[in-house]
């Protein structure tokens, strides 16, 4: 979180974050200087600068963003957006934080129509509270019997 980055956020996450982070820079200074790309077909502008609203063909626009030079593009929250990115094969790295609780309901990150993709664990830690923080990187095609 301390390296330069830009953000790709869904509209709902953006609307939650925009009033909070400009007032709380001490906790995460880079969040305010990062360019915020907001995926939305309903927003026409975004006031938390610098921000850019992306509408229309999101897969094409994200593909173009990924081809440009610049900092890594991070997605926080935005489960619906992540599902769209996974379906379009636009996710290179997943950082998952897995909490030791069972809620029984809620949003699913990997919905029933998620396209299978192969990832490899490249880093993992367990926090003192038991939260697993795991880095997964894309590792090519899925191979039969590759669940070892």
Q: What is the pLDDT of residue 104?
A: 81
DSSP 49-87: SSEEEE-S-HHHHHHHHHHSSSSEEE--S-HHHHHHHHH
Q: What is the DSSP letter of 31?
A: H
- Alpha-carbon distance of 7 to 19, in angstroms, equals 16
Mean pLDDT confidence for 54-74 = 94
- Alpha-carbon distance of 98 to 105, in angstroms, equals 15
The listed CATH number (3.40.50.2000, 3.40.430.10, 3.60.15.10, 3.40.50.150) that belongs to domain 5-138:
3.40.430.10
- Residue 107, helix vs strand vs coil: coil
Q: Is the pLDDT of residue 107 over 90?
A: no
- Residue 18, helix vs strand vs coil: helix
Counting residues of the chain whose pLDDT is more than 70, the rounded percentage is 95
Q: What is the pLDDT of residue 147?
A: 54
ω into 48 cis (within 30 of 0): no
How far from 62 is each of 29, 38, 122, 123, CA to CA, in Å? 25, 11, 24, 26
pTM: 0.84
Buried b (16+ CB within 10 A) or exposed e, 16-34: ebbeebeeeeeeeebbeeb
Which tokens belong to 29?
């200074």
Q: Is the pLDDT of residue 18 over 90?
A: yes
Mean pLDDT confidence for 84-105 = 90
Q: Which residue in this structure is represented by tokens 């390296």?
A: 3
Arithmetic mean of pLDDT over the chain: 90
- 39-49 pLDDT tens trace: 999 999 999 99
Q: What is the pLDDT of residue 50?
A: 97
The ranges assigned to domains in the chain are 5-138
């Amino acid at each position: 979180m301390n390296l330069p980055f830009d953000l790709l956020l869904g509209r709902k996450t953006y609307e939650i974050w925009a009033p909070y982070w400009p007032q709380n820079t001490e906790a995460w200074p880079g969040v305010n200087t990062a360019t915020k790309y907001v995926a939305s077909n309903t927003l026409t502008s975004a006031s938390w600068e610098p921000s850019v609203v992306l509408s229309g063909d999101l897969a094409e626009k994200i593909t173009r963003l990924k081809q440009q030079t610049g900092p890594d593009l991070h997605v926080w929250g935005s489960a619906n957006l992540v599902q769209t990115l996974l379906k379009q094969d636009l996710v290179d790295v997943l950082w998952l934080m897995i909490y030791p609780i069972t809620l029984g309901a809620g949003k699913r990150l990997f919905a029933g129509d998620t396209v299978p993709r192969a990832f490899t664990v490249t880093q993992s830690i367990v926090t003192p509270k038991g939260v697993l923080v795991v880095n997964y990187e894309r590792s090519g095609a899925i191979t039969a019997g590759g669940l070892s």
